[in-house]
Structure 1
Amino acid sequence: MRHGIRGAAVTALAAALLTGCGGEKESSGKPTASPTGTSSTGSQKASGAPVAEGRTTVGAAGSACRLPVSFTTADNWKAKAFTLDGTEFDALAKQGPFTMACEIDAKPAGNIGFLRAWTSDLKGGTPRAALEAFVRAEKNARKATYTEIKAGSLPATEVVYDTYSELMEESKQEHALAVTTPGGAVVLHLGGIDTDEHKEMLPAYELAKKSLRVIAP
């Protein structure tokens, strides 16, 4: 199926991938009508920060995205920060108590998907509670398996789960992790057009996880 996607249908599927922060969560470009298929990029506006290219660090002041944490991106992935723009599309950049703050695009590296950082004002809770709140807000999530891990040196919780893709008419795997910081909880989420694509992008997710650091407020 993936060869077909990357053949004649790749343009149409790439457009359909520009879905929102609900069911499909693969976004970029103009919004579509469905709450589970609307572009998070369309629901956001660029913060004015430079786009990061190559292997770089995002999160700190002066990087492509300002976050409570920093982490390293994989070679040729491009990071861009977004802020809510005050329109009705703002809701599409939210998942439970979290708001999408940074989107790192895998397309320049040859894959179709994103690593996204979501932030929340939640303070004082556990990474597990934060991550469960994030996953519960994904109506298509199922078969979630949670594991207590370290992200860098930080206590973290990781989840592997499936979502059903109406576009592909099949389920696909997703990964996410959560940490808590003095500035609030942060979730890193890796999606992808399908499970095969997702698995190809896992090294980028693992790099971000291994390099995760809290930025002092």
Structure 2
Amino acid sequence: MIRRTAALAALTLTLTTGCARATTEQATPPPSAGPTAAPVAAGPPWYDDVAPATAATTVGPEGSACQLAMTFSVPAQWKVEAVTAGREEFTLGPAVPVCEIDAKPAGHIGFLRIWQIEAATPLSPQEAVDKYLAAFDGPKEQQYRKTKAGPLDAFEATWTEEGERKRALLVSTGSGRLMVTLGGLDTEEFEAMLPAYQLAKSSVHLPK
């Protein structure tokens, strides 16, 4: 019940704010399964054929709604707000919510969320994702890969939760590791919001 509650909380996050069985018939990879360095993969689960949306807002720079240790772009009408209260309640494993980008004003039901990875001991990217997923009620079809976020080396995960596709991207910054997640009401909404995720992923930069 605790894990179920945490999963629902992550999907319906409403805070006081300020500012990954695979698609083949293989068994679900165990948590220790390493990431693949796959070529471009069209369609699910990676959707590499989806083009990024048009950039409208830059998230992360000093003076923006969410000041982060990296910057990236989001499409028009997505509402960017920093998480300034309720972080402990909605922390999942080592992932602490710091920024929420709501797609509702753009006509979709879902969010891009930014999490700061915090742990008492260093975690590999996959360990960080697996500990985050442990807060959910039986995530399935986990797959991992090394990828690029803008010009930076990054780590990406995809999984399903109750049949709905989810995504996470981890980027190392000068101030620790940040994770960008995409989730929606259902897989249809997830796919509709993928251009925004692809935009965020392709536009990541570290401040100079």
Q: TM-score when scaled to structure 1?
A: 0.70
Counterpart in the other structure of 1:11? none
Provide the C-alpha distance between the structure 2 equivalents of 1:20 and 1:102, rounded to a whole number of angstroms.
Answer: 21
Aligned residue for 1:69, secondary structure, equals coil
| Structure 2: tracts of 5 or more residues without a match | 20-54
Counterpart in the other structure of 1:177? 169
Pick closer, same or farther for the CA change 1:155–1:129 going to 2, 3 Å. Answer: farther
Q: Is 1:201 equivalent to 2:193 in the alignment?
A: yes
Identity in percent: 37
Aligned residue for 1:95, secondary structure, equals coil
Q: Deviations over 1:143-166 (max 9, x none)?
A: 1100110011111111110001xx
Q: Is 1:104 equivalent to 2:104 in the alignment?
A: no
Counterpart in the other structure of 2:152? 154
For residue 133 of structure 1, the aligned residue among 131, 134, 146 is 131
Greater RCO structure (CA 8 Å; 6+ sep)? 2
Structure 1 residue 21: Cα displacement:
5.7
Provide the C-alpha distance between the structure 2 equivalents of 1:23 and 1:154, rounded to a whole number of angstroms.
Answer: 32
Structure 1 residue 45: Cα displacement:
2.4
Aligned residue for 1:143, secondary structure, equals strand
Structure 1 residue 120: Cα displacement:
2.3
Structure 1 residue 190: Cα displacement:
0.4
Aligned residue for 1:130, secondary structure, equals helix
Aligned residues: 169
Q: Deviations over 1:40-92 (max 9, x none)?
A: 32xx3223x3xxxx81101111111011211101121111111235xxxx443
Pick closer, same or farther for the CA change 1:84–1:185 going to 2, 3 Å. Answer: same
Q: Deviations over 1:12-37 (max 9, x none)?
A: xxxxxxx986346233xxxxxxxxxx
Structure 1 residue 212: Cα displacement:
0.9
Q: Deviations over 1:87-139 (max 9, x none)?
A: xxx44320111111111111111111111001123586543333233223333
Cα pair 2:149 2:203 within 8 Å, conserved: yes
| Structure 1: tracts of 5 or more residues without a match | 1-18, 28-39, 165-170
Q: CA RMSD in A?
A: 2.3
Cα pair 1:128 1:156 within 8 Å, conserved: no
